[in-house]
Amino acid sequence: EGLIGFFVNTLVLRTEVDGELRVRELLQRVREVCLGAYAHQEVPFEMLVEQLQPERDLSYTPLFQVMLVLQNAPQQSVEWAGVQMRALELESGTAKYDLTLGLAESERGLVGTLEYNRDLYDRESMERLVGHYQQVLSEFIEKLEQRVWEVRLLSAAEEAHVLRQGNEKRVDYEVGSSLAELFERQVEQRPAATALLWEERQVSYEELNRRANQLGHYLRRLGVGPESLVALVMERSVEMVTAVLGVLKAGGAYLPVDPAYPTERVQFMLEDAGATVVLTAGVEYEAGKARVVRLDQEWQEIAAEPETNPESRTTADNLAYVIYTSGSTGRPKGMMITHRNVLRLFASSEQHFQFNADDVWSLFHSYAFDFSVWELWGALLYGGKLLLVKYWESRTPEAFLEQVREAGVTVLNQTPSAFRQLQQAEAEAGGASGLKLRVVIFGGEALELSSLKPWVERHGADVPQLVNMYGITETTVHVTYRRLQASEIEGGSGKVIGEPLADLVLYVLDERMQVLPA
């Protein structure tokens, strides 16, 4: 007798989701939003767009990117004699929106389809999304009085899988008893090899060990032993490395203090840490009640101590150093790091880098920044050379580049911002002639892949290898590894955080420390 048509208008809904609301309250809020929208549903979507004039972009639709279609109108059955009919699902091959969830009532309950933009999502992610949606709906039904933030995306089975999956891959490493002990093994194997490069001076492993032993014996006479904290207030120099080794050989732990720090910060650190001894060199410093040892002025007395290795009193679980955070989120906090933490860092990284005695490292960063721990021990635990970079050279890309060339640095560690300046200086100097780099390791800041395009255009990403590592002071320098590929750098996008080191497990948590899904 005739055709019946109906017009479908797109209705834009916006709901503010507050984690402190109870589920019942959120559902009431959604109901009010929907009823308010239905009251004005005759307003054409096109008119809404015309009136609001949103910023237009060909990559996404204006005002909303996710659509829900609920088919709950009664399905009238039509019967024609001798004709069988069935519904067909039509595949357009094109996603109209980022996500479209279509639901329809049936005898089996709600059935649905999910259409998604493959430029944004993959099938595995969407399958997880459907599972999380069902999980949330189940929790809404069962726990109307719980807070919204308490609603879990993960089912118990999926959470168990996430936790188990990380631990199944983890490897434990046997480590030596202390950093000083492993350094002494290198001294035994290559006493005449160069350990430090400083200005025109080359310091052998034997000489560095001898001076550190004398300081270690001297500090023991001052009462330094396991769990004792000795503060260091000095510039980068041979004396600084000697001081670090001397403190560890005495059995203590070192607290690096940058001489450029404000007096108030220095005083807070010393009092908060309870350091009883302060080592300085080339810096005039008064430390109140703490015993101040001026290495440059008192070395003659220190040199009277034995040159032999002090008998070890240190275990892997004793403190090695304490580095204070910046305090940007409140008061600075002293991170207490053991020998085991540092030794396992290198044990778990060896498979990626194969550090060895032919490597030349640069101590580019302040010893009060934990990137320096990686630079210092990466050289000295493997018998390599360590180029000590003066502060002004670290702030002058042209001077540092020349140092890297002259010393034949093979392992370069840089924050992304410092490397941007270095690659600019390298480009202005006409390229990488004379560089012997085999790996450049980034850390300390978020890395933008696009910033490496100029370097890759000149050198590629194979020699030297470009590696991004992520970590914080609390977790001992680095916790993840990611070797970067030229193709992703040229494309400007990629996953730069990478995989956890072999002895670690990585979890993503929300602000309330709940495990999140993949």
Q: 289: which 2 tokens?
A: 């009640």
pLDDT at 77: 62
DSSP assignments along 16-69, one per residue: ---TTSBHHHHHHHHHHHHHHHHTTTTS-HHHHHHHH-PPPBTTB-SS-SEEEE
pLDDT band, residue 4 (cuts 50/70/90): low
Average of per-residue pLDDT values in the chain: 91
Distances (CA, A) of 83 to 2, 269, 317, 498: 20, 87, 81, 59
Region 156-160: mean pLDDT is: 88
Residues 357 and 379: their CA atoms lie apart, in Å, by 8
Of the candidates 326, 323, 348, the residue with the CA atom closest to the CA atom of residue 337: 323
Report which listed range, 56-70, 86-100, 382-396, 484-498, is most confident. 382-396
Q: Any residues with CB less than 8 A from the CB of 486 and at least 6 apart, and which? A: 456, 460, 461, 462
Distances (CA, A) of 2 to 5, 342: 10, 81
Cis omega (within 30 of 0) for bond into 464? yes
pLDDT at 1: 47
Residue 399 has pLDDT above 50, yes or no: yes
| Amino acid found at 195 | A
Q: Any residues with CB less than 8 A from the CB of 222 and at least 6 apart, and which? A: 277, 291, 293
User: Which of 70-84, 161-175, 198-212, 236-250 is predicted least confidently?
Assistant: 70-84
Residues across the chain = 518
Q: Are 375 and 410 in contact (CB under 8 A)?
A: no
pLDDT at 98: 94
What is the DSSP-derived secondary structure letter of residue 147? B
Name the pTM for this structure.
0.82
Q: Any residues with CB less than 8 A from the CB of 295 and at least 6 apart, and which? A: 215, 234, 239, 242, 243, 279, 280, 281, 302
User: Bigger pLDDT: 85 or 123?
Assistant: 123
Residues 227 and 273: their CA atoms lie apart, in Å, by 11
Q: Are 482 and 510 in contact (CB under 8 A)?
A: no
- DSSP-derived 3-state class of residue 484: coil
Residue 58 has pLDDT above 90, yes or no: no
Residues 361 and 384: their CA atoms lie apart, in Å, by 7
Residues 382 and 429: their CA atoms lie apart, in Å, by 32
User: Which of 91-95, 222-226, 373-377, 480-484 is predicted least confidently?
Assistant: 91-95
Report which listed range, 112-121, 352-361, 487-496, is most confident. 352-361
Residues 279 and 295: their CA atoms lie apart, in Å, by 7
Residues 410 and 484: their CA atoms lie apart, in Å, by 18
Which tens digits make up the pLDDT trace of 64-104? 999 999 988 766 666 778 887 777 777 777 888 999 999 99
pLDDT at 430: 79
Q: 513: which 2 tokens?
A: 């420390």
- DSSP-derived 3-state class of residue 160: helix
Q: Distance between the two ends of the chain, CA-based, in angstroms?
A: 55
Region 337-350: mean pLDDT is: 96
Q: 179: which 2 tokens?
A: 């950093």
Residue 371 has pLDDT above 90, yes or no: yes
Which tens digits make up the pLDDT trace of 414-446? 999 999 999 999 998 876 678 999 999 999 999
Q: Are 325 and 335 in contact (CB under 8 A)?
A: yes
User: Bigger pLDDT: 452 or 7?
Assistant: 452
Report, in angstroms and rounded to the nearest whole number, the Rg of the chain calculated over CA atoms. 31
Region 249-268: mean pLDDT is: 92
- Detail the DSSP E strand segments found in 75-168: 99-106, 109-116
Residue 312 has pLDDT above 50, yes or no: yes
- DSSP-derived 3-state class of residue 113: strand
Residue 184's H or E segment, with its range, is helix 179-189
In 251-338, where does DSSP find H-type helix? 263-273, 295-302
